[in-house]
Amino acid sequence: MKKVTDFIKKIFNTNEFIPLHEPRFIGNEKAYLNDCIDSTFVSSVGAYVDRFEKEFARYVGSKYAIATMNGTSALHISLILANVKRDDEVITQPLTFIATCNAISYTGAKPIFVDVDLDTMGLSPKSLEEFLKTNCEIIDNSCRNKTTKKIIKACVPMHTFGHPCRIDEIAQICDSWKIVLVEDSAESLGSYHKSRHTGTFGKLGIFSFNGNKVITSGGGGVIVTDDEILAKQAKHLTTTAKILHKWEYTHDSIGYNYRMPNLNAALLVAQMENLDLFLENKRELAKLYAEFFEKSTITFVQEPSESISNFWLQAVVLKDLEERNAFLDYTNSNGIMTRPAWTLMNKLEMFKNCQCSDLSNALWLEARVVNIPSSVRI
């Protein structure tokens, strides 16, 4: 393991503490922030919000983008727009950040967990189809769970660590089972599956700009869609459902104060200008890691077939739980931040009673995957 820590210190050119993933501000961030402050438009209305939404939609290839305060709020609103309601069910994967399941819970719905694929670490279309064929039926143009008697309204796959799952196959399955596909692309800006950007396969997709993402606004998110009506509803609901008027305060439904402030958008506009540079840099880092670990018993996680990964968080797979824990202890004790994959969602107290498929792959990965330093090297 000393060889690993020595190599990481060498490629990051430091003997100081190496974080897992830190942001880089090397462009117009300060200039745009100062311009935003000078304009006095620092809240959820301003030129940078409008500019970011247009530029982001263009980048990922969607017709519309609606900026929000974070990725969780973006997913919450997307599920509402997918007509997910209290006592409905939503299929997702157990290997994910808790925000995915939190957003489902905010609607009053309950998650169902199906397994992931070992190579993508994202939701498995095979597991999804097997679960649906075994447990569900189509009644009145809806997918009904024969076990719980509830309607499965949506499916939320997540592109784990920026590696695209088999999202095209998942989209086909969801369509045939009358399930709305909402993509959790929080980690996959700059990732493509079969030449199509993640987040654009479903009815709605979301991205996150938390401080540890490829580009960041400190906190921020965005909803993307090709549906004009949904885009307008998303903007309306995230702006407290206020009916536009010069002075009247009239609201036509329960709304949410979820809009992104202009200050955060100013940061993101500047970050977008260097996005391609960041992605290229991270791909170079992945190549260095792949070449190093090829000579090791540790497996480096490569991008899946027919996909381009952003390599947001670089990952390795250890032999077993014991080796994983030893690796985590050694690296963190020697100034290099590493972390395990998340505890599976179905193991958490809030979700322990949720319905699950066989989760063999997720359990295998949980015991072996470790994220290693992934920052853009400047």
Residue 103 structure tokens = 């957003």
Q: Using DSSP, state whether 189 is helix, strand or coil.
A: coil
CB 109 within 8 A of CB 86: yes
**Vertex 309, ends 278 and 284: CA angle to 5°?**
45
Q: Which CATH class is domain 29-274?
A: alpha beta
Hey, what CATH topology would domain 2-24+275-344+356-372 get?
Answer: Aspartate Aminotransferase, domain 1 (3.90.1150)
Percentage of residues in the chain with pLDDT exceeding 70? 100
**Cα–chain-centroid distance for residue 224?**
13
Residue 232 structure tokens = 């307008």
CB 270 within 8 A of CB 29: yes
The least confident of 70-84, 85-99, 138-152, 243-257 is 243-257
Please compute, for residue 309, the number of CA atoms within 13 A of its CA located in the half-sphere on the CB side. Answer: 28
Residue 214 structure tokens = 């490829």
Dihedral (Cα; 14, 20, 25, 29), 10-degree rounding: -160
Q: Where are the alpha helices (DSSP H) in the chain?
A: 2-11, 29-39, 47-60, 71-81, 98-106, 125-135, 167-176, 228-237, 262-272, 275-293, 321-333, 360-366
Measured CA to CA, the distance from residue 327 to residue 112 in angstroms comes to 32
Q: For residue 152, what is the enclosing H or E element?
A: strand 152-156
Check pLDDT > 90 for residue 1. Answer: no
Measured CA to CA, the distance from residue 80 to residue 241 in angstroms comes to 13
Q: What is the pLDDT of residue 378?
A: 85
Backbone angles phi, psi at 360, to 5 degrees: -60, -45
- In the block, tokens 């519309």 appear at 64
pLDDT, mean over the chain = 97
CB 336 within 8 A of CB 5: yes
Q: Which residues, at least 6 apart from 40, have a Cβ–Cβ distance to it below 8 Å? A: none
Measured CA to CA, the distance from residue 319 to residue 370 in angstroms comes to 11
Check pLDDT > 90 for residue 44. Answer: no
Q: Using DSSP, state whether 355 is helix, strand or coil.
A: coil
Q: Which residues, at least 6 apart from 140, have a Cβ–Cβ distance to it below 8 Å? A: none
Range 39-60 burial, b when 16+ CB lie within 10 A, else e? eebbebebebbebbbeebbebb
pLDDT tens-digit readout, 175-201 = 999 999 999 999 999 999 999 999 999
pLDDT tens-digit readout, 130-147 = 999 999 999 999 999 999
Exposed / middle / buried, residue 89 (Cβ in 10 Å: 0-12, 13-18, 19+)? buried
Residue extents of the structural domains in the chain: 2-24+275-344+356-372, 29-274
pLDDT tens-digit readout, 319-336 = 999 999 999 999 999 999
- In the block, tokens 């086909």 appear at 172
Q: At what angle do helices 228-237 and 71-81 cross, to 10 degrees?
A: 120
Amino acid at 255: G
Q: What is the pLDDT of residue 45?
A: 87
* Closest listed residue to residue 159, CA positions, set 114, 204, 206: 206
Amino acid at 114: V
Q: Dihedral sign, CA of 235, 236, 240, 246? A: positive
Distance set, CA 164 to CA 111, 188, 264, 342, 374 (Å)? 21, 7, 27, 18, 18
Measured CA to CA, the distance from residue 135 to residue 150 in angstroms comes to 11
pLDDT tens-digit readout, 264-310 = 999 999 999 999 999 999 999 999 999 999 999 999 999 999 999 99
Instruction: Tell me the pTM.
Output: 0.96
Q: Do domains 2-24+275-344+356-372 and 29-274 have the same CATH topology?
A: no
Residue 192 structure tokens = 């493509």
* Closest listed residue to residue 152, CA positions, set 82, 211, 244, 103: 82
